[in-house]
Amino acid sequence: MRIGIYARVSTKDQSCELQVPDLRQEHDTKLGRDVAIKVLPEAFAHDAERLARFQREAKMLAQLNHTNIAAIYGLEDSNGTSYLVMEFVAGETLAQRIKREGAVPVGEALTIAKQIAEALEAAHEKGIIHRDLKPANVKLTPEGKVKVLDFGLAKAFAGDTSTEDMGNSPTLSMAATMQGVILGTAAYLSPEQAKGKAVDKRTDIWAFGAVLYELLTDKPAFHGEDVGDILAAVVRAEPDWQALPATLPSTIRTLLSRCLRKGRRQRFSDAADVRIEIEDAIAAPKDSGAAQAVPASTGKLLLESER
């Protein structure tokens, strides 16, 4: 089906669907480039206030201009159908990469993590929080560049609790888990999200830590048989620090523990600090040594201090 000036691209590359319903690769017939189209839920068409709110959010998100962030080109309408036009990013997601090859070597994982941190830093400087950072929302291009997808769309779609797949509603609460939230989102929620509390940029710092942990170990930092178990682990349990590679620099072990502390006041407060730590680790001599395991209690500090 053709939408406006955009023609559907036939492809066998499943990664182009970005693992999100109603998101597909199209060809811009005016500018001669491929784009990703996200059709807004039908509920938006019947709610002028909601659509206006989404338009305001989309306008702000379109101002993000960073090499490691997939760009939003605009919000358009064709015959009553509203849709986002976004940068099409070729390649595979980190989720696909991990599934295909398992744990990512330390050096490559740090290079990927550095680019994710740079994307967070740029967005946070503009007051934009991702809210749904996870391996399925990070792509690796064939040239090896990282592109973070869906920046800020969690907030833009907030309030959409219709009968759609809840995987489209990245910001969740304990109540939302009763509505069929997909497992792939719950494992990367921060404790404050799991409790239904307000979020800030430290929520993205937590998710960053969860993504880096999975890159290095080939398993989620927090897991369980169902969404309720996973969110309980997020709130109460610790990652298996022994699963980290023996060759991982001690500074990165400490970085992970600080990203994944339950009390957000004990986490890194700024993505720039995370980036600098990773840059230092990459630049350090290769024989600088691996670390002692992170104490199991490190993530439990000052839980009562969380705002």
Q: Are 298 and 255 in contact (CB under 8 A)?
A: no
What pLDDT score was predicted for residue 32? Answer: 73
Phi and psi, residue 145, nearest 5°? -85, 140
DSSP three-state, residue 21: coil
Tens-digit pLDDT profile for residues 66-115: 999 998 888 887 777 778 888 889 999 999 999 999 999 999 999 999 99
The length of the chain in residues reads 307
Hey, which bits of 12-144 come out as E strands? 23-28, 33-39, 72-78, 81-87, 92-93, 138-140
Instruction: Please state, rounded to an integer, the average pLDDT across all residues of the chain.
Output: 80
Give the pair of three-digit tokens for residue 217. Answer: 């170990």
End-to-end CA distance of the chain: 48
- CATH 1.10.510.10: does it fit domain 92-299? yes
Contact 201, 271 (CB under 8 A): yes
| pLDDT (average), residues 14-21 | 43
pTM, two decimal places: 0.80
Please identify every residue annotated as catalytic.
132
> Rounded distance, CA 167 to CA 17, Å?
14
Could you tell me where in the chain the CATH 1.10.510.10 domains are found? 92-299
pLDDT of 11 reads: 47
**Backbone dihedral region for residue 218 (phi beyond 0: left; psi -120 to 50: alpha; all else: beta):** left
Answer whether 190's CB lies under 8 Å from 206's CB: yes
Give per-residue pLDDT as tens, 114-143: 999 999 999 999 998 998 999 999 999 999
The phi-psi region of residue 196 (left if phi > 0; otherwise alpha if psi is between -120 and 50; otherwise beta) is left
Higher pLDDT, 278 or 60: 278
* R_g (Cα) of the chain, nearest Å: 19
Query: Which one has a higher pLDDT value, 305 or 249?
Result: 249
All CATH 3.30.200.20 domain ranges in the chain, comma separated: 6-87
CATH T-level assignment (fold) for domain 6-87: Phosphorylase Kinase; domain 1 (3.30.200)
Query: Is residue 26 classed exposed, middle or buried when 0-12, 13-18 and 19+ CB atoms within 10 A define those classes?
Result: buried
- Quote the pLDDT of residue 204: 96
Pairing of strands 92-93, 138-140: antiparallel
pLDDT-derived band at 3 (thresholds 50, 70, 90) equals low
Name the more confident of 267 and 227: 267
Higher pLDDT, 46 or 275: 275
